[in-house]
Chains A and B, each alone.
Chain A
Amino acid sequence: MIKNIFTIGICLLAAQPALQAQSSQDTPEQKAQIELGRRLFYDADLSINGTMSCATCHEQRKAFADGNQAHPGALDDPGKRNVPGLANIGAFKNLTWAHNRLSGLAEQSLMPMRGTEPVEMGMNGHEAEIGKRLGQNECYQKLFLRAFPNKKGSIDINTVSRALESFQKTFVSNQSLYDQMTEKGKPLPTQKAQRGKKLFFGAAKCNTCHRAPLFSDDDFHQVQPKNPKNEDRMRDNGLSDVTGNPKDKNLFRTPSLRNAALTAPYWHDGSAKTLADAIRKHDVNVHQTLNHQEIDELIAFIDALSDTTFVNNPKYAKPAKECPY
């Protein structure tokens, strides 16, 4: 027991820097990129018909998920996967539900913008349109110049994606009740949440994959029995769709459980409407069966991972319409 507590403590200490906010030591250029990225994140001109911004699917009040099973694209193509939350997204090596070959958030942001499987924002083949639209806006001209002086303020899909990366790297969620109590060395306020925490890190072994402090091991697993119903949704083979390796079939990245209480529905296809459904979906042949009370206790603990400062942080909200410069 003592050994376990010690191990958990070491893990927490070792991994805590992953959840640190960007410091005031950012260069003026970096700060300008964050400011620009924030404006772009909320700008629907990044989609083919002006109907979708990043924030259309990634709503701050829902911890940057959106509450739908999957979100249709700008041209109404059906969504392939559930919109994941973006808490601490800058700390992840692997991005999206099932991709291990992206160099970072800049490259990732190109997937919704010009991806074709499925079409989300629909800009594939229309990338030049982004520069044309944004370039007509005097405010963007100033913001791009401040953010990318070495590129003479070039407005193109590459500078757009770099600015989006800079902004998303500031998404730090580390002020949940769990974080506050851990920092003070105090137990969670309810017995139910305390029992849930014990289960989470103990018998239920949730922490094996949903590893603190990110509450994800940033790795790929198959946790559902094979042959899930696909209904009308498009075929989804998980990681093997990227790697082409049959061994990677049905592998999906462990989602973070931070703010999970705010990001229903769950699962890569959004097929679990509630946290209880999601817990029950874990393959009982591999994982142990939990009774109703234990599931309730785990949910009470997961509730304690909700961070209201994150979903209300004005730094992440839609910026004022007026140009700051």
Chain B
Amino acid sequence: MKNGLFILLLATSLFANEAVLPSELSAWKSLSYVGTAKNAQELTDATLTLNSASLVGLLPTPKIQYVARPTNEGGTVSYGGIFRITIKEKGLYRVVLANASWIEMVKDGKSAQSVAHAQGAKNSGIRKMVDYNLDEGTYTLQLSAGADTTSAVLVTKLP
């Protein structure tokens, strides 16, 4: 109940003067709550669904054991979290985020190299977007060096 109300409030503030989003980002406006893992063992309870936007709670950095050391780890007063997502087919994917956390897509202990990054349109609630060429498989999405205790996140396949 509490989470539902929070999502409603967040969505109201994010999309008050909503921007028109391209079709590949249409899922951004519908948030569902997903828990955050602080280590690899907890990842089963922190699974994101492709093309579905999620509200995630983030944890103080010192409590997190990342599966691969992030390039930007964040200081002791920052926030982050780790999540699991399954990519069913090879292609170009975009990670969309409501805050400015550092994003890494990790598979087999290695971070995928980003191929493009951008900011979201005004009033879209999107702070940053990072694109990756990903193979089929299970990835760990790592968020690090964030300033906030929550964020909306979406992983979507680009046409």
In the assembly, what is the distance between CA of A50 and CA of B147, in Å? Answer: 7
B77 touches A133 (CB 8 A): yes
The total of chain A residues at the interface (CB under 8 A) is 20
Question: Distance (Å) between the CB of A83 and the closest chain B CB?
Answer: 14
Q: Enumerate chain B interface residues (CB-CB to A < 8 A).
A: 61, 69, 71-78, 100-101, 127, 145-147
Query: Which among B61, B69, B72, B77 is the interface contact of A56 at CB below 8 angstroms?
Result: B72
A76 touches B77 (CB 8 A): no
A53 interfacial by beta-carbon distance below 8 Å: yes
Residues of A within 8 A of B146 (CB): 51
Question: Distance (Å) between the CB of B64 and the closest chain A CB?
Answer: 12
Bitwise, A115-158 to B at CB < 8 A (1) or not (0) is 00000000000000000010010000000000000000000000
Interface-lining segment among A41-49, A103-111, A175-183: A41-49
- Interface secondary structure of B, over-half rule: loop
In the assembly, what is the distance between CA of A76 and CA of B147, in Å? Answer: 10
A51 touches B145 (CB 8 A): yes
In the assembly, what is the distance between CA of A318 and CA of B71, in Å? Answer: 8
Q: Enumerate chain A interface residues (CB-CB to B < 8 A).
A: 43-47, 49-53, 55-56, 72, 74-76, 133, 136, 318, 321
Residues of A within 8 A of B75 (CB): 43-47, 49-51, 53, 133
Residues of A within 8 A of B147 (CB): 49-51, 74-75
Residues of B within 8 A of A46 (CB): 75
Question: Distance (Å) between the CB of B146 and the closest chain A CB?
Answer: 7
Residues of A within 8 A of B71 (CB): 318
B72 touches A55 (CB 8 A): yes
Whether A44 contacts B69 in the complex (CB less than 8 A), given A50-B77, A133-B77, comes out as no
Whether A45 contacts B76 in the complex (CB less than 8 A), given A51-B145, A51-B146, A321-B69, comes out as yes
A-B pairs, top 5 by smallest CB distance, nearest first, are A50-B75, A50-B78, A45-B75, A44-B75, A50-B77
Residues of B within 8 A of A49 (CB): 75, 77-78, 147
In the assembly, what is the distance between CA of A45 and CA of B127, in Å? Answer: 22
In the assembly, what is the distance between CA of A277 and CA of B100, in Å? Answer: 29
